[in-house]
Structure 1
Amino acid sequence: MKMGNYIGHTSEEGRQQLLIDHLKGTSLLAERFASVFDAPEWGRMAGLYHDIGKYSAAFQRRILEDGPRVDHSTAGALLMKKIKNVPLALCIASHHSGLLNTGTKLSNVNDGTLMGRLKKELKGKLDYSAYRQELPEPVPIRKAPAFLYGKDQFYYSFFIRMLFSCLVDADFLDTERFVNDGKVQRGGFATMEELHDLFFAYYATFGKPTTPINQKRQEIYQQCLDAAEKEPGMFSLTVPTGGGKTLSSLAFALKHAIKYKKQRIIYIIPYTSIIEQTADIFRNILGDGNVIEHHMNVDYDKDYDKNYDDDKKEDDGLNRKKLATENWDAPVIVTTNVQFFESLFAAKTSRCRKVHNIANSVLIFDEAQMLPEPYLRPCIRSMGELVANYRCTAVLCTATQPSLETYFSRIGEGLKVREICPDTQGLYGFFRRVTYRFMDVDSLESLAAQLKEHEQVLCVTNSKKDARDLYQLMTGDGCYHLSTFMYPAHRRRVLAIIRQRLKDGLPCRVISTSLIQAGVDVDFPVVYREIAGLDSIIQTGGRCNREGKQRTEDSTVYIYDLPKPMNRIPAFVRRPIEITQMVAKDHADIASAESIKAYFDQLHYTLGEDQLDSKDVLKRLEVNKPAFTEIAKDFKLIEEDSRTVFIPIDDDLDNQKILAQLRSGVCSRSILRKANQYMVGVYENQFRKLEEMNKLDALEFGLYVLTDPAAYDPDTGLVVNMEDGIGIFL
C-alpha cells in the first residue's frame, strides 16, 4: 500500500481513520497521562507502537474486505521486546485482551502468556514492516522513574499497571473521538479553584456556630484546613460519629488539591448507602456534572468470548461498549472499596482504564476500618505505593481508627501517618451520646414485639433475609425497610420520608441492613443492632441521639443476639462477633478508644499476618514475572460474582428514557452514570434464579432489565430467594 493509506479504524457510516493518525493521537494522550508519574516517554512509545500489527497486509484485508481475523497487538510487543523493554511489551500485547501473565522462556505458544504470544508471533511471521514508512525505529528508553531503581518487584508490577492504564484509556479515547466524528463527549468540568469557591461559599451560609456541638465541629473543620497546608503524604482523621467528617474532609481535600496541584479528589467508601448520601451532598455543593458516583458493577468484558482473538474485539459495536466504560475523568469521584481496590489489582481493560487517573489525587478513605481483612496487606501496600510514588495524598477517615500505622511503616523507608485531630480521647468524650446495652432475644417475633413498643426506632440486622422477614412482622403506620435490593433512587426516596417523619415526631420504625449504619444522617431516639464487629456496632450507634438532644442515659443502643447455629454464620462475620464479646467482658465502656484499639489488635492478631493477605497477592507480585491474570481472578473483595439488573419504573420519565436508550443500543458514560440510580446488584446464584423464571431481558452492555413488575416489591425491593447469608454491599 502507499504511504499514508493504512487504515486503523472504520466507522459504521464508512468513515476511515488513518492508522498513523490513531497512533499519534493515542501516543500524545498516553504521554500526557504517564507524565503524571514521571514516565512520559514510556507512555509516548506505548501509544506510538501499540497497533503496528495493523500495518500488515493481512490486517488491512481484514478491515477493508472483512478478511480473516488477525492478532495485531503482539507485533508491537515483539518490537518492544527486541529493545529489551518488557513492561512496554506486556502493555502493548495486553491492550485488548487484558493484562497478561508474563510467562517464562518455557511458555508454549498457546498458553496466553506474553512469552507464549511472542513465540507465536515469531512463528507466524506476520509482515508488518510497512510501519517503517511512517514511524521511526524505536530506541531503548534510557530513563525510568527513580522509584523503580533498587526496589522490590511490587514497584515494578504496579508501574506496569499504571502504564497499561495510560495506554488503554488513551487508545479508547482516541477511538471514541473518531467514532463520534471528532465530537468528544467528555470534559467540561469545573476547575479545582472553581470547586473550592463553590464549597466555601456554601459553607459560609452556616454562619457562626452557636451550639456546643457545632462549635466542636467548627474546631475539627479548622484543623482540617490547617492540615491541608502540610506536605502531601498520609494523614488520618479520627473523629467520632457526628463530628462533621464529610464536609471537613472535603475542605481539606479542596484546599490541599489547590496548594499542591492535585488533579482530582476520590472518596473511597465501603457502603453504597454512604456513597449515595455523600455524592448527593457533593453534587448539591459542587454541581451535578463535577461528581461521578461509581459503584455499578457492570463487566463489559463478560460479553466477549474468551477464545476470540484481539481483532474480533475491533468490531465497532463491541468498541462502543468499552468506550463507554468509566475512566474517572471528573474532578470528584465517589466510589466503593470494591471498585477502587479491585481496579488496582485488575487485568481487564474495562477496570484498568481508570487506574492512571488515581495518580496525583487526594484520596479520602471513609470508614477506613472497613478495609477487608483478607486483603488488608495488599490494600495497604497499594495505598502506600500511590502516596510514595504516584503523588497522592491519602486520608484515613474514620470514627473507629484501626491500628494501621504499623503496616504503613513497613512500606519502603516507612510512611508516617499524621493525625489531623490529635485530641482523639477528648473528642470521644465530647461526642459520647449513647449508652450500649447487651440483650438476648429468642426470635424475630419477640424482637418485633419490642420494636413496636417504640414510636421511633431503628433496627439493623446482619442479613438481608432477616431484615425482610422482620419487616414483614411489623405492622402499622410508619414502618420502613432499607436494603441494597432496593435501587439507589428508591432508597433515597425512603430515606427522605424517614428523615421527615423523624423531624415531625411521627411514628417511624425502620428495619435495615447495615447499609444505614455509617454515614447516613438520621437521628433515632433508640436503636437496636444485631451483634457484630465492634466497629459496626459503634457506627450504628451514630444513628442514635446524633444531635445530642437527649440525655446519654436516655439514648440506648440495644445489642441483641438472635439464637443461630454459629456454624451457619460465615467465619468473616463470626470472628468479629466473638472478639466483640471478648472485649465487652474486659471493658465496661465498649465505645472507648481503649476498647476499639483492643478490638482491632485482637482481630488482626487472631487472623495473623498470613490471613491479612489470604491469597498471597503480595508474594506473587514480588517475583520477576508476575501472573497478572491469575492475581486479578483471585483478588475479589466480594468472593461471589455479581450481576446488575435495571429496574424499570413506569411512572418515572427519566427511568423510561434511560431504558429506551439502553434498549436501542445507545451507550455512553453519561447514560450509564444516570442508569446507575436504577440498578440493583445480585449475586450469580440469585441472577440465575431470576433468569430461569424468565424475569430478565438481556440488554447489549452486560446489563439486564427486570421484565416482571411483581418481582420488585415497592417496600422491600427486588424479590429473590435468600439464604441465611450475610448481606454484603457493593
Structure 2
Amino acid sequence: MYVGHTTEDGRKQKLLDHLQGTSALAEKFADVFDAGEWGRSVGLYHDCGKFSKAYQRRILENGPRVDHSTAGALLIMKKIHNLFLSICVASHHSGLLDEGNRRISTAGDSTFYGRLKKDLSGKLDFSAYRQELPDPQPPKTHPNFLYTEDNFYSSFFVRMLFSCLVDADFLDTEHFMSNGAVKRDGFASIQELHDMFFEYYKHFGEPTTPINKKRQEIYQQCLAATEKEPGIFSLTVPTGGGKTLSSLAFALKHAVKYRKQRIIYVIPYTSIIEQTADVFRNILGTENVIEHHMNVDYDDEKADAEMERKKLATENWDAPLIVTTNVQFFESLFAAKTSRCRKIHNIANSVIIFDEAQMLPESYLRPCIRAIGELAANYHCSAVLCTATQPNLDAYFAEIGPTLAVREICPDVQSLYNFFRRTTYQFLDVSSLDEVAAKLNQHEQVLCITNSKKDAQNLYKAMDGEGCYHLSTFMCPAHRRKGLSVIRQRLKGGLPCKVVSTSLIQAGVDVDFPAVYREIAGLDSIIQSGGRCNREGKHKAEESMVYIYDLNKSPREIPAFVQRPLEVTKHIAMRHNDIASVESIKDYFHELHYLIGRNQLDNKDILEKLEGKSIPFANVGKEFKLIEEDGKNVFIPLMDDEENQDILSKLKLGLRSRSLLRKANQYVVSVYNNQLVKLCDAGKLEKLDEELYLLKDPASYSMETGLDINMEDGIGIFL
C-alpha cells in the first residue's frame, strides 16, 4: 500500500484515497465554471511523486524531504502535453510558478520549465503510479476562452484551476488528519438568507415621507433589475438613497433566480465594512456574515463552534455571504501563494457588489476591470458597481468584449441627485490655516477635512471652546474608534462638536454635521466629504454648506497622486456651476483618466505581463500590491490599558500569532520609512522585530492628536 498521509496516532491514509478524494473535490469546484473534467484530472495526478520510494521512506521512516510535486507535472506534459494542468500540479506546494522558457530555463531554477528539467530517476522514480492509476487523458471539454489569442484568459483559468486543486488538496488532507472532526458547514443557504431579508423588510411598511418613498422607488428598481441576465450592473445612488439595503435586496433575489452560490461585498475601507457588516448581521444573523479583512479576529481563545466556522470560512470563502476589502479581493485574484489562491474558485458563480466603486485603485484600474470582466464573461458572476460618484468605466469593459455592457439599475441618475441634494458647495477664499481655523471657530458643530495629517494636527490646536476633536491615522485605531463614538453622541445630543480630520472620515462614516469644510482635492473626495453634511436631510440644502478651501500649496507640498485630481477639480469648477452634478462627475473622471494616461492605469504592466507568451505568475503575485509596504508599525504603549499591556508583554517575549497581531493592530500607528528614521534617530523607538517597533517616549503620543513625528522640516503626509 502506498501512503499519502500519516497522523501522530498512527493512522495512515492510502495515497490512492487521497488522490481520488482530492480529484472529486476539485471536479466539484471546477464544475461551477464548466471545467469539472479539468478539476478531476488535476486532482488525480497532483501527488504522483508520492509513489516514489524516497517519498514513502520520508513519510513512513521520517526520511529526508523530497520533491513530489514535479512528478505529476512531468507525467502530464509527457502523456498529454497540457500546460495548464501541469503548471498547477508543479506549483501546488510552492505557489504558482513563473512559466519560464522551455529552451532557456535550466534544471532546478524557480520557473515551471526549470522544474520540468529536474532529474527524477532513481529514488525519485514514481513509475509505480501505474499500479493504481491509469495514464492521464486529455480533457474532452475545453472552455471557449482557451482559444483566444489573448493570454490573459488562459492565465485567469490557470489560477482558477489552481485554486480548485489547492483547496481540494487542503480539505481532503484536513478531513483525514482531523478524522472528520473539522466542520465547515452550518451557514444558512442563499434561499434562507433571501427569505430572512424579505421578512425583515416587511417591517418597514408602506413609506409615508417623501424621502422614504424615493428610497422605496430605488429599492423597487433594484428588484426589477434582478430579472435581467447576469452580467455587469451599476447602481448610482446619492448619499441617503438607501443603497446598502437595496443592493442587498438585488444581490439576494438575483442570486436565487440565477442560482448563484454566494454574495461577496467588496468595500475599500474597513470602517465601511464594519458598518455594513453590522447592518447585515442585524438582518441575517451574526452567524451568517463573514468578514474578511485585517481588523477581524476569529482566533479568540474562547471561540465557540460559530467562531471556528467563520475562521475556517475566511480561508476559502466557503460561506454564502462574504464582506471583504478591495485589497483582499483583488490581490487574491492576482496572487500566486496557495493560501491566497484557495478562495478564488469560490468567487465563481457569485453576485459581487463593489461598494464605493470610484475607489477602485487608479494604478491598477485596468487589471481590476479586466478581472471583473473576466468573472462576468466566463465565470457566471454578476457584478454591481455601487457608488454616489460613478466613474465612467464602460469603455474599459468594452475593450474586453462587446457583451460586457454596464447596465444602470436606476437610469434617471440626475433626478435622484436633484431629489437627494442636501448640501450647497461653495469655494472659500482663504490664504492660511489660521483663516480656516477662525471660520471653524464660528460654528458650534462643524467638520473640517484636510489633505495632510500635519494640517489636521495644527488646525486642531487652533480650535477654541469645548467639544473639539481630532482624527487621523497618527492615532491608533482604538482611540479613533473611541473618538468617533463620542463625536456621534455629541452630534446627536446637539452639543458643541468641532472636528478636524484627515480623509479617513469622508467615506461611509455615519456622522451628520450642519457644515463641512474640505481642503480642495479630487471631486469624488469632495462629494464624499459632503456626504457628512446634513446627512439626515433635516435642513434645507441652501443652509447646509460644504466649503472648499485652497491654500495654494506649492507642488513640493502635494504628492503627485493628490496633485492631479486636485487640478482636475479646478478645471471642473470652471466649466460647471454645480460641481456635484452628474455631468460634473462624468466630466471629472473622463478628464482624470485621460490625464493619468492609459499606461498609468496599469503602472506595473500587469496586463502586459499576463498577456505575454510566458506567464509570470509568481512575479505578478509579488507586483500586484494595492497598498505598497513603504513603512513600519509602531506599537503605542498605554499604561492604564490592561489589554494593551498584556499584548505588549507577549510581543516583548517574542510571541507572534495571527490573533495576537490582529489585537495589536488596535494600538498600532503606521509610519513611512522616512518618519521611522526620524523617530529612531531621536531615540524614541525600540525595535521589536523587522516590522514592528515600540514607542519608548510616552510624550510623543497624545490621545487627542496621536503620534508626534516632528514634521516641521518635512512635507505633510497624506492619508
1:74 corresponds to which of 70, 73, 76: 70
Query: After the TM superposition, which residues 706-725 of structure 1 pair with which residues of structure 2 at under 5 Å, given as runs?
Result: 710=698, 713-716=702-705, 724=715
Structure 1 residues 10 and 569, CA gap change in structure 2 (3 angstroms): farther
Deviation larger for 381-390 or 704-713: 704-713
Query: Alpha-carbon deviation of 1:257?
Result: 0.9
Preserved CA contact (<8 Å) 2:630 2:673:
no
Identity of aligned residues (%): 67
2:494 maps to a residue whose letter is: G
Structure 2: how far apart are the matches of 1:496 and 1:197? 33
Preserved CA contact (<8 Å) 2:184 2:312:
no
1:173 maps to a residue whose letter is: L
2:20 maps to a residue whose letter is: K
Structure 1 residues 675 and 60, CA gap change in structure 2 (3 angstroms): farther
Structure 2: how far apart are the matches of 1:68 and 1:683? 44
Tell me the secondary structure at the aligned position of residue 135 of structure 1: coil
Deviations 1:58-93 (A, max 9, x none): 223333444333222111111121221111111111
Residue of structure 1 equivalent to 2:199? 201
Instruction: Give the total of aligned pairs.
Output: 696
Structure 2: how far apart are the matches of 1:184 and 1:721? 51
Tell me the secondary structure at the aligned position of residue 459 of structure 1: strand
Task: State yes or no: 1:399 paired with 2:388.
Answer: yes
Structure 2: how far apart are the matches of 1:274 and 1:10? 44
Structure 2: how far apart are the matches of 1:193 and 1:485? 44
Query: Alpha-carbon deviation of 1:693?
Result: 6.0
Task: State yes or no: 1:171 paired with 2:169.
Answer: yes
Residue of structure 2 equivalent to 1:306? none
1:412 corresponds to which of 401, 408, 411: 401
Query: Alpha-carbon deviation of 1:161?
Result: 0.8
Residue of structure 1 equivalent to 2:208? 210
Deviation larger for 468-477 or 367-376: 468-477
Deviations 1:436-484 (A, max 9, x none): 1222444444433332221111111223343344334445432333334
Structure 1: how far apart are the matches of 2:609 and 2:228? 36
Query: After the TM superposition, which residues 240-259 of structure 1 pair with which residues of structure 2 at under 5 Å, given as runs?
Result: 240-259=238-257
Tell me the secondary structure at the aligned position of residue 404 of structure 2: coil
Preserved CA contact (<8 Å) 1:9 1:19:
no
1:513 corresponds to which of 477, 496, 502: 502
Structure 1: how far apart are the matches of 2:634 and 2:419? 44
Structure 1 residues 564 and 230, CA gap change in structure 2 (3 angstroms): same
Residue of structure 2 equivalent to 1:314? none
* Structure 1: 5+ residue stretches without partners: 299-321
Structure 2: how far apart are the matches of 1:480 and 1:519? 19
Residue of structure 2 equivalent to 1:308? none
Task: State yes or no: 1:61 paired with 2:61.
Answer: no
Deviation larger for 467-476 or 554-563: 467-476
1:28 maps to a residue whose letter is: A
Deviation larger for 376-385 or 45-54: 45-54
Residue of structure 2 equivalent to 1:685? 673
Structure 1: how far apart are the matches of 2:44 and 2:663? 35
Structure 2: how far apart are the matches of 1:137 and 1:167? 19
Preserved CA contact (<8 Å) 1:686 1:721:
no
1:373 corresponds to which of 362, 383, 389: 362
Preserved CA contact (<8 Å) 2:215 2:242:
yes
Structure 1: how far apart are the matches of 2:643 and 2:259? 37
Query: Alpha-carbon deviation of 1:208?
Result: 2.4
1:341 maps to a residue whose letter is: F
Structure 1 residues 548 and 362, CA gap change in structure 2 (3 angstroms): same
Residue of structure 2 equivalent to 1:312? none
Deviations 1:198-228 (A, max 9, x none): 2223323333222211211111111111111
Preserved CA contact (<8 Å) 1:8 1:54:
no
Structure 1 residues 446 and 16, CA gap change in structure 2 (3 angstroms): farther
TM-score normalised to the size of structure 2? 0.88
Preserved CA contact (<8 Å) 2:53 2:123:
no
Deviation larger for 452-461 or 490-499: 490-499
Residue of structure 1 equivalent to 2:532? 543
Structure 2: how far apart are the matches of 1:646 and 1:556? 39
Query: After the TM superposition, which residues 385-464 of structure 1 pair with which residues of structure 2 at under 5 Å, given as runs?
Result: 385-464=374-453
Structure 2: how far apart are the matches of 1:469 and 1:14? 66
Query: After the TM superposition, which residues 279-358 of structure 1 pair with which residues of structure 2 at under 5 Å, given as runs?
Result: 279-296=277-294, 326-358=315-347
1:85 corresponds to which of 79, 82, 85: 82
* Structure 2: 5+ residue stretches without partners: 297-310
1:585 corresponds to which of 557, 571, 574: 574
Query: After the TM superposition, which residues 551-630 of structure 1 pair with which residues of structure 2 at under 5 Å, given as runs?
Result: 551-630=540-619
Q: Alignment RMSD, CA only?
A: 3.3
Structure 1: how far apart are the matches of 2:648 and 2:220? 45
1:508 maps to a residue whose letter is: C
Preserved CA contact (<8 Å) 2:459 2:500:
yes
Structure 1: how far apart are the matches of 2:389 and 2:321? 25
Query: After the TM superposition, which residues 650-729 of structure 1 pair with which residues of structure 2 at under 5 Å, given as runs?
Result: 675=663, 678=666, 680=668, 682=670, 685=673, 695=686, 697=688, 710=698, 713-716=702-705, 724=715, 726-728=717-719
Query: Alpha-carbon deviation of 1:236?
Result: 0.8
Deviation larger for 181-190 or 247-256: 181-190
Query: Alpha-carbon deviation of 1:678?
Result: 3.5
Query: Alpha-carbon deviation of 1:265?
Result: 1.1
Deviations 1:513-535 (A, max 9, x none): 22221222221100011111101
Residue of structure 1 equivalent to 2:97? 100
Residue of structure 2 equivalent to 1:36? 32
Structure 2: how far apart are the matches of 1:654 and 1:41? 52
Structure 1: how far apart are the matches of 2:331 and 2:710? 28
Structure 1: how far apart are the matches of 2:260 and 2:625? 29
Structure 2: how far apart are the matches of 1:158 and 1:581? 40
2:138 corresponds to which of 115, 137, 140: 140
1:538 maps to a residue whose letter is: I
Structure 1 residues 657 and 231, CA gap change in structure 2 (3 angstroms): farther
Structure 1 residues 7 and 392, CA gap change in structure 2 (3 angstroms): closer
Tell me the secondary structure at the aligned position of residue 408 of structure 1: helix
Query: After the TM superposition, which residues 463-474 of structure 1 pair with which residues of structure 2 at under 5 Å, given as runs?
Result: 463-474=452-463
Query: Alpha-carbon deviation of 1:380?
Result: 1.0
Query: Alpha-carbon deviation of 1:672?
Result: 8.6
Preserved CA contact (<8 Å) 1:172 1:323:
no
Structure 1 residues 583 and 24, CA gap change in structure 2 (3 angstroms): same
Structure 2: how far apart are the matches of 1:439 and 1:124? 80
Structure 2: how far apart are the matches of 1:323 and 1:127? 37
Task: State yes or no: 1:219 paired with 2:217.
Answer: yes
Residue of structure 2 equivalent to 1:155? 153
Query: Alpha-carbon deviation of 1:501?
Result: 1.6
Structure 2: how far apart are the matches of 1:704 and 1:21? 44
Structure 1: how far apart are the matches of 2:14 and 2:672? 43
Query: Alpha-carbon deviation of 1:576?
Result: 0.4
Structure 1 residues 683 and 34, CA gap change in structure 2 (3 angstroms): farther
Query: After the TM superposition, which residues 492-531 of structure 1 pair with which residues of structure 2 at under 5 Å, given as runs?
Result: 492-531=481-520
Tell me the secondary structure at the aligned position of residue 516 of structure 2: strand
Structure 2: how far apart are the matches of 1:240 and 1:475? 34
Query: Alpha-carbon deviation of 1:584?
Result: 0.6
Tell me the secondary structure at the aligned position of residue 510 of structure 1: strand
Deviation larger for 715-724 or 600-609: 715-724
**Which of 1 and 2 has higher RCO (CA within 8 Å, sep 6+)?**
1
Preserved CA contact (<8 Å) 2:363 2:600:
yes
Structure 2: how far apart are the matches of 1:681 and 1:359? 36
Query: Alpha-carbon deviation of 1:112?
Result: 0.6
Structure 1 residues 601 and 614, CA gap change in structure 2 (3 angstroms): same
Deviation larger for 77-86 or 677-686: 677-686
Residue of structure 2 equivalent to 1:48? 44
Query: Alpha-carbon deviation of 1:25?
Result: 2.8
Structure 1: how far apart are the matches of 2:248 and 2:707? 34
Structure 2: how far apart are the matches of 1:696 and 1:124? 49
Residue of structure 2 equivalent to 1:26? 22
